[in-house]
Amino acid sequence: MGNGYASYCRMVKSERISNGKKKGHGNRKCGNRYLAWAWIEAANFATRFSPPIQRWFDRKASRCHKVVARKAVAHKLARAGYFLMRDGGRFDVQRAFG
């Protein structure tokens, strides 16, 4: 269920795949642009001020482009945010990025 929220926040690609083959892409503006902006800003802040998230980001950025790595951090934060809103509790950085 967390992936539905991540999709609404524009944190996943909008491509259509069937039987492992790409059947098209589109509808990339589906979702909430303000949530997309907010999670990217949260990722910027987190990679700047949280050492575990910075380490995870550096490892990811060494394998791909920094923009893609930043979006991956935002996606992880959005999924964690969904489960925190649904279940309550506290954010555990080691569970999300450990």
- Which residues of the chain carry a pLDDT beneath 70? 1-2
Q: What is the pLDDT of residue 2?
A: 64
Q: What is the pLDDT of residue 73?
A: 96
Crossing angle between the packed helical segments 33-49 and 66-87, to the nearest 10 degrees: 100
Q: What is the pLDDT of residue 4?
A: 85
Q: What is the pLDDT of residue 1?
A: 57
Domain boundaries, the chain: 2-97
SS3 27: coil
SS3 38: helix
- Residue-wise pLDDT for 69-88, tens only, equals 999 999 999 999 999 999 99
Q: What is the pLDDT of residue 47?
A: 96
